[in-house]
Structure 1
Amino acid sequence: MSSQILHLQLTSMQLPNAIQTSAVGKGADDFSQIALSSQTTVRAGCDVVVHPPEPSEIVLHLENLGSRMLRLNVRVEGNFPAEWCRIGMEGYELAPRSRMDVVLYFQLPADFFETPELGTGQSLILDYHSRIHVNYTEEGTGRQLVETAGLNLYVRPRSLYPKFLPAVYREVDFIGRFLKIFEQAFEPSVQTLDVLWAYLDPMTAPQTLLPFLAHWVAWPIDRRWTLERQRYLIRSAVELYRWRGTRRGLRLYIHLYTDLPLDEHITREVDKHICIEEIRGEGFVLGNTRLGEDAMIGGGRPYHFIVRLRPQRPNQVDEQLVRHIIEQEKPAFCTYEIYIDALITNS
């Protein structure tokens, strides 16, 4: 690849683990004809391995050995689609006794192995061969010359298993491609085990697994709840059981449904978005009761409480569902009232 005027040198930025000499598939013409099955084709030139969709680079080093300015034009001809390769140049002129680096960027589509367009009897082409042509014009003389270099492009899926083999076996390309078959079969199961925690968390588990997780905590699936609310309720089921029949448990349940704040930092109950007030009183006790303040003529309502909700946005609270929650959570002997304040908007 040397010349009296222009010297070429190719350097791959990704070093392959194996010498890529095997070829699979059929080409369209003599230039792209590739050997099948047990045959191998060896092409002289620089080798680059591409793992879709990861990018790969090759640096073309150019050196002007002459005494005149050279005007350059670099192009790549091969049996792969032109959009796979981009050429980056520092300029189009190379001064005498100076050097220039041209970068060739290769990147294949992410679905290269998933959606191949193959005809009947054809196999997926994995080995591509091309040549880099550097056309240059010598300033002053007008002479037009060309230098070429071979380039072999090998498309391989990224594989994990060869790294567990001794180095001597990693040097055989066939072994890497053969192990990839088993990797594609077993790796999904291995990845599932690595993220098993996500399958057991109601917030990240697949929707089809939610009934199973709900059964674990004996939580009934109610289709009136949205999917997001069901996830919150299943995750909080044990805590809801722990506080069932208490004001804290009822407030938490309503919070999980309506998304109204718990307001734990607010001391006064009447100032909270979910206000639950208990009606308390000693009744009529002679000598201790003040009419109009702590006594009620005609009797009171023992074990009675009032729920007042203050929504923050329209349609945030469904009264029928809130009543269902209260009926489910309150002690059987308690009575209650519910009020939903009107939403105030600034016009």
Structure 2
Amino acid sequence: MSDDPAPVTVAQAMDRAVALASLGPAYGPNPRVGCVILDAHGAVLAEGWHRGAGTAHAEVAAIADAADRGIDVRGGTAVVTLEPCAHTGRTGPCVDALTEAGIAAVSYAVADPGRASGGGAEVLASRGIPATLAPHSAATALTHRWLTAMRLGRPYVIAKWASTLDGRMAAADGSAFWITGPEARDHAHGVRAEVDAIAVGTGTVLADDPQLSARPAGTEAEHQPLRVVLGRTATLGSKVWRDEHALAVESHDPRVALATLWALEVRTLVVEGGHTVLSAFLRSGLVDEIHAYIAPALLGAGPSVVEDLGIGTMADALRGHHVNFQPLGADILVSAHLSRGI
């Protein structure tokens, strides 16, 4: 921000708030949120974003930014990507911080999914501070996984696999290293670094002894997801148990696993296999998004990506939407949301 900033519209301020929100972590129990405070003439007074659970929310961060620079935000408009919270969690309610700072109006892009307990917009309105919903597609996209998790009351589930062109995730002898090339594997590590947990079955642990760590560009990421092993077969001594950042869920029921993880504030989960675990989540209708890394290779035999899903006709096929295709070296990533991922 310059000493004499040019005025901006609320829409432009929301664009900036979304850009700020994207600076926050994709993982964790809280959403990514950005805030820009404008004066009555549209000049930017302050900016802020949420930096992770336990830190100041975006509105509070913006107010603090102004205070640090001796700027009075009274009479200003707070432009926020998510409706200000009206509850006390790790930090106090943002509606109180906005009120105490003398903010005159609020514009927010996404409604709080927890509005049943009292929406921030209503609280602000009761205090004479109009709060207006101004939908913004990029803000919605940025919080999509978190919003879905909050709406469903379970972690957002991404089913991930690597396969050959003929749908095999391993050869007939069980070997699966490496189906895809380094670019695809590096992308998968990047996804791991942005989620709360990774889940595999005991069969995968015994067959592959994976580390289940996030190593984009070959370097251990600062954030490492919780390693989750599903099933009742003993896997002690495997790499997954190298430290305490791992969890055994001794059940084959995906719903039990999701309830356990939800209680631990896991909001995003990547299910990496094997085919028994992937099939169980798909069969239960508990997959929200798929990441299929497809290599230009053929095997003709070996385990398929999924087992019988109980689908007997094309009319009932699981269909992806918001489909995206991304070349990764010689491989391709097909990502999509599932229409029955609820």
* Common fold by TM > 0.5: no
TM-score normalised by the chain length of structure 2: 0.21
Greater helix percent: which structure?
Answer: 2
TM-score normalised by the chain length of structure 1: 0.21
The higher-RCO structure (CA 8 Å, 6+ apart) is 2
